[in-house]
Amino acid sequence: MHESHKLYLGHAGLLGDPRLKGLPLVVAMTGYAEAGQAARQVGEEILETLDSQQVAEFDVDRLYDYRSRRPRVKFIEDHFENFDLPELSLRAVTDGLGQPFLLLSGPEPDLLWQRFAQSVAELAETLDVSLVASVSSMPMPVPHTRPLPVTAHGNREDLIAGISPWKPIAELGGSAAQMLEVVLGERGFDTIGYTVNVPQYLADAELPQAALIALEHLGAATHLNLPTDRLRESGREVEQQIDDQVSGSPEVQAIVTHLEQRYDEHVGASSQRSLLARDESEIPDADELGATIEAFLAEQDEDSSED
């Protein structure tokens, strides 16, 4: 078996740089659930607006299944070019106030999860990471007209307290980021994760507001000044587009109103029940609600493209 450190190529000068010791590590990997594309937007916003340099690069040829997620390539007249290969890397980033931190971003590995987690743990130990803070998102039966709920998780109770209005017990398909939280927690690292609950009927859309909420929570936990201005502005535009489309269908408006009522009841209730819990009354389930709204919004998109 190959040693886990061979899954990545580290830059020796940076791995030994004392200025990179004791920093928080932000994890924003794409590929699992990723409702609203929150993790992807978080990673891209950080790298596009803040200065960074690569500390380590993972071997995606060994971690990535190109057949399941085929890279894009351009065909221009008579030839192919710009083969867009994925990159999974650890970078040192400087925030808006000059404070350094680490960012692990890129596509979630398809293969070798345990060895990948051990590799990240080795890097975290080498750099004496102070806190591992991850971001993710999942589709939930919540309305877009209310603040998106956030589920906080990890071993830092002080960073979890007061964020989630409910604390469910559930079993679900796991992600590489969740494995990192478990493995790094077992290694003695402080961990905190924020999973943004995105309206199920908007799960396939790019929602800047989901990434914005994630960045705000990450910033509060790590005391970093993270970029939010562009996401805040684009989030307003997306919200207006959604409102305009929903207002065109009384049926969809009724469903959103129902979701609002459920949201308000659960968030305001003293008992911490899952938003997935069914009411006593006969109501459509989450899939039915989502399917109805998704179908309507798809029709609106088709109409817009034809105009």
Q: Are 70 and 19 in contact (CB under 8 A)?
A: no
Q: What is the structure's pLDDT at 295?
A: 58
Cα–Cα distances (Å) from 283 to 104, 255, 259, in that order, read 42, 10, 11
Between 266 and 213, the more confident residue is 213
Q: Which are the contacts of 97, defined by CB distance < 8 A and separation ≥ 6?
A: 225
Q: How does residue 6 score in pLDDT terms, banded at 50, 70 and 90?
A: confident
Q: Rounded to the nearest 5°, which phi and psi values hold at 144?
A: -75, -10
User: Residue holding tokens 């069914």?
Assistant: 278
Q: Which are the contacts of 145, defined by CB distance < 8 A and separation ≥ 6?
A: 256, 260
Lowest mean pLDDT among 33-37, 123-127, 182-186, 300-304: 300-304
Q: Which two tokens stand for residue 133?
A: 């803070």
As a whole number of angstroms, the distance between CA 2 and CA 88 comes to 19
As a whole number of angstroms, the distance between CA 254 and CA 251 comes to 5
Q: Are 199 and 149 in contact (CB under 8 A)?
A: no
- Domains in the chain, CATH or no CATH each: 4-235 (3.40.50.10900)
Q: Which two tokens stand for residue 28?
A: 């924003």
pLDDT digits (tens, 9 = 90+) for 14-55: 999 999 999 999 999 998 778 999 999 999 999 999 999 999
Q: Are 212 and 228 in contact (CB under 8 A)?
A: yes
Q: Which of 110, 227, 236 is nearest to 176 (CA)?
A: 110
Count CA atoms within 13 Å of residue 139 on its CB side: 16
pLDDT digits (tens, 9 = 90+) for 201-245: 888 889 999 999 999 999 999 999 999 999 999 999 999 998 888
Distance of CA 123 to the CA centre of its chain: 22
Q: What is the structure's pLDDT at 275?
A: 39
Q: With b meaning 16 or more CB within 10 Å and e meaning fewer, what string describes 138-157? A: bbbbbbbeeebbbbbbbbbe
As a whole number of angstroms, the distance between CA 209 and CA 234 comes to 8
Q: How does residue 272 score in pLDDT terms, banded at 50, 70 and 90?
A: very low
pLDDT above 70 covers a percentage of the chain that reads: 85
Q: What is the structure's pLDDT at 266?
A: 77
Q: Which two tokens stand for residue 204?
A: 């396939």
Q: What is the structure's pLDDT at 33?
A: 75
